[in-house]
Structure 1
């Protein structure tokens, strides 16, 4: 009985001490520097040249697309894409048989920035630093602080219909 109480007391003390540890602080600037080194190595390994915008997103426009690019934050976009980790393993994709439809302002910042660079019918490759993707959060198939590669074909945009008129 005394032994069980001592073990329980010890377990409580260890639990309290573990709960008091300070969580790791996310340093966006330090992570961006790490991510940029990864991006440059990956691009060199693949013999590819990307343009860097002010946000830190690296992109390569394959086809600019046509038409107007006056996309509102609430418009629905349809794309086909392939998402890869820097190990070149595919973690997500949407094909012609299963296109990805989303409201423009509901995706990661890297996608919002990148898709603003092309028009419907366009194709773009993105190297997205973790700051513009999932940051230090783990998502299915994607470890924390992952740099991501996307090859995106922008199929169409559907304007949001104002039902109040």
Structure 2
């Protein structure tokens, strides 16, 4: 009985001490430097030439696309894509049978920036540093501070119709 109380007391103390530890401070600039090294190393290993946007997004346009590019923030875009971690494991994808439809302003900054570089019918490869993706917040299948690799086929844009 005394042994159980002692173990319980130790467990409570450890729990309190663990709750009192100072959380790690997120340093966006330091993390971006880490992300940039990861992206550059990946590009070198894959022998891929990427362009760096002023935001820090790395990309390669495979096909520019055609047609009018008069989309705005409230239009619905349709894409097919594959999202990979830098380990090459797929964490998300949308196919022709099940495309991803979204309002442009509702997606991560890396996608907004990347999709503004191409038109419907275009294809772009994005290497998204964590500050333009999910930052230091883990999401299902994606650890915190992850650099993300997307290949996106931009299919079409549907203009919002005001009623």
> TM-score higher than 0.5 here?
yes
The residue matched to 2:59 in structure 1 has which SS? strand
Mapping 1:96-107, distance limit 5 Å: 96-107=96-107
CA distance in 2, matches of 1:93, 1:11: 43
Counterparts of 2:60 and 2:3, CA distance in 1: 66
Deviation at 1:90, TM superposition (A): 1.6
Deviation track 1:21-64 (CA, whole Å, cap 9, x = no partner) reads: 11111111001000111101111111110100111000111111
Q: Which secondary structure state, in structure 1, belongs to the residue aligned with residue 37 of structure 2?
A: helix
Root-mean-square deviation (CA, aligned residues, Å) is 1.4
**Map of 1:128 onto structure 2:** 128
**1:66 and 2:47 are equivalent in the alignment:** no
Shift of 1:69: 2.0
Distance (whole Å) between structure 2 residues aligned to residue 89 and residue 2 of structure 1: 50
Give the structure 2 partner of residue 147 of structure 1. 147
Partner of 2:85: 85
For residue 138 of structure 1, report the CA deviation from its aligned partner.
1.6
Q: Distance in 1 between matches of 2:70 and 2:152?
A: 19
Q: Distance in 1 between matches of 2:126 and 2:95?
A: 17
TM, length-normalised to structure 2 = 0.93
SS at match of 2:32: helix
Q: Distance in 1 between matches of 2:6 and 2:127?
A: 54
Deviations 1:86-132 (A, max 9, x none): 12222211111111111111111100000001111111110101111
- Structure 2 counterpart of 1:109: 109
Aligned partner of residue 91 in structure 1, secondary structure: strand
Task: Tell me the equivalent position of 1:43.
Answer: 43
> What is the alpha-carbon distance in structure 1 between the residues aligned to residue 7 and residue 117 of structure 2?
61
Contiguous gaps of at least 5 residues in structure 1: none
2:157 match: 157
